[in-house]
Structure 1
């Protein structure tokens, strides 16, 4: 028996089972989202989204097979090559891609489209893992921090040329992995402060209140400490920077496209235009709320049947689940996602090499970001930014990219002992 054959039993079947359940539930919900009882078609009909998604699921199974039979060393050895290839695709997408809703983010092949930015996620994760596995790498040093950030920033900058703000935001999820690997906490404190001030600056209509609040905080800090001139000047400078930032943020937002400005304002005032810019979120919340505890039943969702929620088969797929299966159905799916994420944390922590652990946490970071933002978006807790629910939303690029991302890690985990042998 070959040595590789001894490790077939090391495959984590629990993770694969959760993945399969989520994909199947998602497929049924895609059918429900496009179901029309006046012209009911089979779930297997290739002329509707559920039939097309079945093709993507079938090809995803082929991708899984290729990944699981491939040499586990291939992913590490080709990590930088794959990263370079997808950077090239991202570079040419704004020039040769198909324009949809003002974005050139897709390559079109007949009735199907592929989005390079989705696949660049796993390529970036592999590149980060390859870069960070070096014995000399230390996230406590500024030069290594900048190099890691550059790997993340390159695809983000190219995606913004399309422009696709939602997908670009996903790459910020890699900061979760960087935190696990030792990025200094001060950056996260500054980041959270930056986000908090940004939300206040956007949500508070009159900036004078922010000026007063910052002034009071600075005064309090001065009174609590020793009244050294350097402390007073330092805190005053900080206060001035915060106030200046709040006013400059107003200017930046005013330069955004109108639809992006509207999405931000709807977050703070959902009733600002319920029949216009607030329509998607309002109808999504109605659909989820109308499901009650046990839901209206499969294919019985009225919000779904009458197309009240735009993009319900993609970005707003979760409201279909909430309407037809209620709180119970929503809880089950959220539980499955949480179980998957917890399981992946366990797998990542048992890795024997830094390459596998870093890649594992990249997988966790991306899935967690998509899961949290998508659901928050459908219930009005986050602006609508076009982020799909992993394994659930309609789309081949989404399903393929998440499948590749996950199963490369499952493959690495199944060979963790061999990877340790290579390193020793």
Structure 2
């Protein structure tokens, strides 16, 4: 245990981060009260309502923060990362069988009036173990066994959380790829993930043929960028690509009853790709053009993804997830069903205008038009009552928080602290991106809280511990250097 009067303690703590954290939780608390005040709470401290309960969660969160900063030795987090990770992983599995079902998701333990969600805590333990493994002197993310170990650490809890039907919490784990990129992971993998998402969406909204053309176009551009010069092969590929773009129109000129008229351009394109792929592999090997051989593998993987999209969409995703994606992508209109939340959310934010309707002046949120307005859709209350200016202030605070954490992480002399800091920043960013994207119709409604603002003890405690472990680690360094 440390004495609060220790030399340099006031200087060693990053009070800018602490103050930003406090401002965000106060903004959240006030907006939770605003979203439910029409239900009749006597005051913002009324424990019979969510605003009063959130006040209790805030007090306990501050107690946790003080404990982490001034009592727990920061060096213990690294040594305890493995048992903490395994312990929380056991809870993630146990909650599937012993937990209670809330809104279609069996991811909560219930102890009387208190509910606890292990998925929130798993972000902390995963971040700690990831930082422990990646900070080892002989670790290289580009080495296959180290990459597979990292993928295992991230993949196991992610898959278990998906089994709990907590898609939003599982999606946050994708953000850890930014941590891997900072530690030497190739940016091409991030590009591949983005390209895969694009192909998946295009296959659903356009057609497999369009997706095939986009896939070939992407590979053609990438090989051009990788090559030091543009040769005759590039122009042959470019002309072939143009022909394939016009192929449906060309085949349409023939009699529908003729052989050419009956040809499906998609199968023609696949047949050509099947002939070209061996050539790409052999040519890449002979000319020592590794990227050309990798492009052949990328083409195979892309074709496999395109033709498995329908199966994934119809057989792996759940009904409510399919409906939300269909509404988001404009494949279906459902203003009174799954699209209701998003429509009401956008109406609430849009009605706030530049400066908002004023504190407690919202109508969409106050009268319950927006579901989950104190949890997943808390940003709607900010938008309606405080307008564009209020939204800008809140987003700016989050951006400042993330940048400050990354800045402190880069200043750190310890690789464990740096990597953990990037994990914290990635988790906050993913929550921010998904939640706000969800409220303005850019992301499907998958149920994910806005860090420090949304109502709920599990989320608030988890982000408090996540952030203050980093502050404690950074303070430990500043104390002695």
* Smaller-chain TM-score bracket: over 0.9
Going from structure 1 to structure 2, the CA distance change for 1:324 and 1:231 (only over 3 Å counts) comes to: same
Are 1:252 and 2:253 matched, yes or no?
Answer: no
C-alpha contact 1:291 1:326 (8 A) present in aligned 2: yes
In 1, Cα distance between the equivalents of 2:183 and 2:473? 19
Are 1:284 and 2:286 matched, yes or no?
Answer: no
Going from structure 1 to structure 2, the CA distance change for 1:89 and 1:236 (only over 3 Å counts) comes to: closer
Match of 1:54 in 2: 55
State the structure with more CA Rg. Answer: 2
In 1, Cα distance between the equivalents of 2:215 and 2:180? 31
In 2, Cα distance between the equivalents of 1:312 and 1:16? 26
Match of 1:370 in 2: 431
Superposed displacement of residue 104, structure 1? 1.1
C-alpha contact 1:352 1:417 (8 A) present in aligned 2: no
Are 1:268 and 2:317 matched, yes or no?
Answer: no
C-alpha contact 1:7 1:415 (8 A) present in aligned 2: no
Secondary structure of the residue aligned to 1:330 is helix
Alignment of 1:220-369 (within 5 A): 223-224=233-234, 230-231=279-280, 239=299, 241-255=301-315, 256-269=317-330, 272-369=333-430
Going from structure 1 to structure 2, the CA distance change for 1:84 and 1:317 (only over 3 Å counts) comes to: same
Going from structure 1 to structure 2, the CA distance change for 1:217 and 1:142 (only over 3 Å counts) comes to: closer
Gap regions ≥5 residues in structure 2: 224-231, 238-275, 283-292
Going from structure 1 to structure 2, the CA distance change for 1:318 and 1:140 (only over 3 Å counts) comes to: same
C-alpha contact 1:352 1:419 (8 A) present in aligned 2: no
Q: 1:192 aligns with which of 191, 194, 198?
A: 194
Going from structure 1 to structure 2, the CA distance change for 1:219 and 1:87 (only over 3 Å counts) comes to: closer
Gap regions ≥5 residues in structure 1: none
In 2, Cα distance between the equivalents of 1:241 and 1:127? 31
Match of 1:98 in 2: 100
Match of 1:44 in 2: 45
Structure 1 range deviating more: 124-133 or 236-245: 236-245
In 2, Cα distance between the equivalents of 1:216 and 1:124? 37
What is the number of equivalent residue pairs in this alignment?
A: 418
Match of 1:137 in 2: 139
Superposed displacement of residue 215, structure 1? 5.9
TM-score, normalisation: structure 2: 0.82
Aligned-residue CA RMSD (Å) = 2.4
Going from structure 1 to structure 2, the CA distance change for 1:41 and 1:219 (only over 3 Å counts) comes to: same
Secondary structure of the residue aligned to 1:174 is helix
